[in-house]
Amino acid sequence: MKFRIIGAVALSFAVAGCTHTAPDGRPITQYFFRNLVMNGCGFQMTWESAREATETFKPVIPTDRERMTDRGLMRAAIAVCDKVNSGGRSKAIEVQVPDSGGVLRKIVVERE
């Protein structure tokens, strides 16, 4: 995985002040998750998939600036990239990852 890209994205959010919503009204976590997966492994996911993933893990951002996302959401992005890198060429990828509380959550991300 390209950790330089992840670092650049994280740094850009930290410098921007971690606003709650992006210019088009979507929560910033959807942008973060989608860009992390797209830049990390080239999986062109839909906005609907990013929305469902961020709602599944409900990351904590507003008051805690050191934490860009919930650990479960980061694990989900890494799991999606692992499946893509291991030859997952299907339209939808399904992964199960634990959230911050250790509960296994299943998400399905679809290609555009």
> Is 63 inside a domain boundary?
yes
> Is 3 inside a domain boundary?
no
Whole-model pTM over 0.85: no
Residues ≥6 apart with Cβ < 8 Å to 19: 28
> Is 48 inside a domain boundary?
yes
Residues ≥6 apart with Cβ < 8 Å to 80: 37, 41, 43, 45, 93, 95, 109
> Is 20 inside a domain boundary?
no
CB 84 within 8 A of CB 43: yes
Rg (CA), the chain: 13
> Is 71 inside a domain boundary?
yes
Q: Say how many domains are in the chain.
A: 1
Segment 48-55 mean pLDDT: 90
Residue 94, pLDDT score: 92
Cα atoms in the Cβ-side hemisphere of radius 13 Å centred on 102: 0
> Is 9 inside a domain boundary?
no
Question: Which residues on neighbouring strands pair with residue 94, listed in sequence order?
Answer: 108
Domain that holds residue 72: 28-110
Residue 65, pLDDT score: 45
